[in-house]
Amino acid sequence: MRISLESSSESARATTVESGRSLRAGRRRYAPREFWLTAIALPVAACNHAPTMDLFGSYFPAWMLCAVLGILAAVIIRQVLAATGINDYVIAPLLTYAGLAVSATLLVWLFWFGN
């Protein structure tokens, strides 16, 4: 198979293969529409109910309550660490306490809504 390079200008380069068809460099290929519809529909296909709870007569998103509980848990952990003097040795406090808040949030979600 013989391949030759032809360039009419520096911005447009084409590779010509023996069959005479031209392969353009930099041409984008798009996935079919059905692929994108399937990719969008798959994450929500297994949802059987919305994670909401009846709180004071209105439906409240459960993830928001779990996030508030996780942030409160991180604040309490920070206060305990500050009282014991360990807070001075925390390397990156913002990342550490944000990670504690996320971990506590996910643990609350797991214990409350996990099967």
In the chain, domain spans: 3-44, 52-113
pLDDT tens readout for residues 38-61: 777 776 666 666 666 666 766 777
Whether the predicted model's global pTM rises above the 0.85 cut: no
> 79 — phi, psi (to 5°)?
-65, -40
Highest mean pLDDT among 15-24, 37-46, 100-109: 100-109
